Amino acid sequence: LVVADLPGLIEGAHKNKGLGHEFLRHIERTKVILYIIDGSGDDDRRPINDYKILRRELELYNKELIQYKSLIAVNKVDREHTRFKEKFEELQSIAHTECIPISAKMSTNIEEVIFKLRCLVFNETPEEARKNLSIAGS
């Protein structure tokens, strides 16, 4: 499983703003898109808006990109004094794919994200993936 980390997709990237097309060309080579969304809501940001911006930028650059298999990891589930649950549920209600709450800092649900990515990349059912992982681990 090869992962390409492509941070920095910003609003206007489809118009070549920021890294623009150079950045977006890398996404075309992927099999699966993992959206990592900040779920804390810091700076009055709403995870649902961040997700919509990312999807819109991909669609405006190349409509096929929003058809790619995908997964959403909503980060910062560990943060206290946030409205994470409310924001997570709001995002989940419009998401076009599965949302998994994670904490990169505490490693919460990271193994689950990796497992789900494997299923998507290799077109495996969860049962097939578990079997293949146990064979690889022996």
Residue 114 lies in a domain: yes
Q: How many residues does the chain have?
A: 138
| pTM for this model (two decimals) | 0.86
Of the two residues 76 and 14, the one the predictor is more confident about is 76
pLDDT band at residue 17 using 50, 70 and 90 as cut-offs: low
Torsion of CA 51, 54, 60, 65, to 10 degrees: -90
Could you tell me if 12 and 18 are in contact, meaning their C-beta atoms sit under 8 angstroms apart?
yes
Looking at residue 7, its pLDDT comes to 63
Residue 8 lies in a domain: no
Residue 18 lies in a domain: yes
Q: CATH number of the domain at 103, please.
A: 3.40.50.300
Looking at residue 8, its pLDDT comes to 66
Residue 60 lies in a domain: yes
Map residue 72 onto helix, strand or coil. strand
Domain holding 22, by residue range, is 13-137
Q: Which two tokens stand for residue 83?
A: 């409205």
Q: For residue 116, is pLDDT > 90?
A: yes
Residue 43 lies in a domain: yes
Q: How many domains does the chain have?
A: 1
Q: Which two tokens stand for residue 12?
A: 């206007």
What's the whole-number mean pLDDT along residues 61-75?
94
